[in-house]
């Protein structure tokens, strides 16, 4: 069933909040990775608000859905969505990357906060997710396992070992959403190490795989519904995105992969994201 207008509005509002939170968090920390979370916000919000069975009441339930953020450096957006679902206190977001805080620059497993696995080293996420998916099947649970990955992480060989095993064992309860923005820390992905057509690759490995506009929440939702209906194969959504989406001077710019905006840049970004001018001083206090 397609998203209702109310559901679509909820997802779009969550995506916008994720972008606003990302700018504020990375600015407050004076370090971090803003570009990826801005680009992933739409497909991540669709997953978290419409499909992922995770909430404050079931956070400790072994049978609930699981999520693994493979490209762990994009965790500002992940933390924002966990906060919007009531798992992380809103006031904790601005302690991002601070000494002693729970919300560090890569996720650290914490079931109280709904964080299922510690990630950072690229290449591990699909293997971990597959283990969770096979365990759920072995136990007869209806839970689904979702993983976010990226075109850059797809350069790692372990991803393809996991892809082989997932198809072999029929892990139909596993879905990976790949952020395909053609950007990584060293520049444009196609210049660094071109992974080429990931949909064709996943299909060749035996997966149900589709290309999808990662900014079209209705298209992402439909692809996630189709993945849930797949009963024999794991599913891969190759989400075509624009790094820095929503902030004009960050869009498609590799330099914004891992650089914090200064005061002026943060205020400009928030204005473009729809924050009223009168609220900027409170939302972006001067760091100097």
Distance between CA 6 and CA 110 in Å, rounded? 32
Q: State the pTM of this model.
A: 0.97
Q: Which of 97, 96, 102, 154 is nearest to 125 (CA)?
A: 154
pLDDT in tens, the chain (288 residues): 789 999 999 999 999 999 999 999 999 999 999 999 999 999 999 999 999 999 999 999 999 999 999 999 999 999 999 999 999 999 999 999 999 999 999 999 999 999 999 998 999 999 999 999 999 999 999 999 999 999 999 999 999 999 999 999 999 999 999 999 999 999 999 999 999 999 999 999 999 999 999 999 999 999 999 999 999 999 999 999 999 999 999 999 999 999 999 999 999 999 999 999 999 989 998 765
Q: Would you list the DSSP string of 33-90?
A: --HHHHHHHHHHHHHHHHT----TTTTT-TTS-EEEESSGGGHHHHHHHHHHTTSS-G
Q: Which of 103, 77, 76, 97 is nearest to 29 (CA)?
A: 97
Domain boundaries, the chain: 5-283
* Cα 19 → chain centroid: 12
Give the CB-side neighbour count of residue 284, counting CA atoms within 13 A. Answer: 26
- 3.30.43.10, 1.10.10.10, 3.40.50.970, 3.40.718.10: CATH of 5-283: 3.40.50.970
């Amino acid at each position: 069933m397609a998203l209702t207008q109310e559901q679509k509005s909820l997802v779009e509002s969550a995506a916008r909040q994720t972008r606003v939170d990302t700018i504020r968090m990375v600015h407050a920390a004076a370090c971090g990775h803003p570009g990826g979370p801005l680009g992933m916000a739409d497909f991540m919000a669709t997953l978290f608000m419409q499909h992922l069975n995770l909430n404050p009441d079931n956070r400790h339930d072994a049978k609930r859905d699981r999520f693994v953020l493979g490209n762990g450096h994009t965790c500002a957006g992940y933390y924002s969505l966990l906060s919007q679902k009531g798992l992380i206190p809103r006031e904790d977001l601005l302690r991002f990357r601070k000494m002693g805080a729970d919300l560090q620059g890569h996720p650290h497993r914490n079931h109280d906060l709904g964080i299922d696995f510690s990630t950072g080293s690229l290449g591990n996420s699909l293997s971990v997710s597959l283990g969770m998916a096979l365990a759920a099947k072995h136990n007869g649970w209806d839970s689904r396992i979702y993983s976010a990955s990226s075109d850059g992480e797809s350069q790692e060989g372990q991803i393809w070992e996991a892809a082989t095993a997932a198809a072999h064992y029929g892990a139909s309860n596993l879905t990976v959403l790949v952020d395909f923005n053609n950007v990584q820390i060293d520049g444009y992905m196609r210049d660094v190490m071109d992974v080429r057509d990931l949909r064709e690759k996943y299909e060749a490995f035996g997966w149900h795989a589709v290309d999808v506009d990662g900014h079209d929440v209705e298209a992402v939702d439909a692809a996630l519904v189709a993945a849930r209906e797949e009963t024999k194969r794991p599913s891969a959504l190759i989400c075509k995105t624009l790094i820095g989406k929503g902030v004009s001077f960050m869009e498609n710019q590799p330099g914004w992969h891992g650089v914090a905006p200064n005061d002026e840049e943060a205020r400009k970004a928030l204005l473009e994201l729809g924050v009223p001018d009168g609220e900027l001083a409170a939302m972006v206090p001067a760091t100097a």
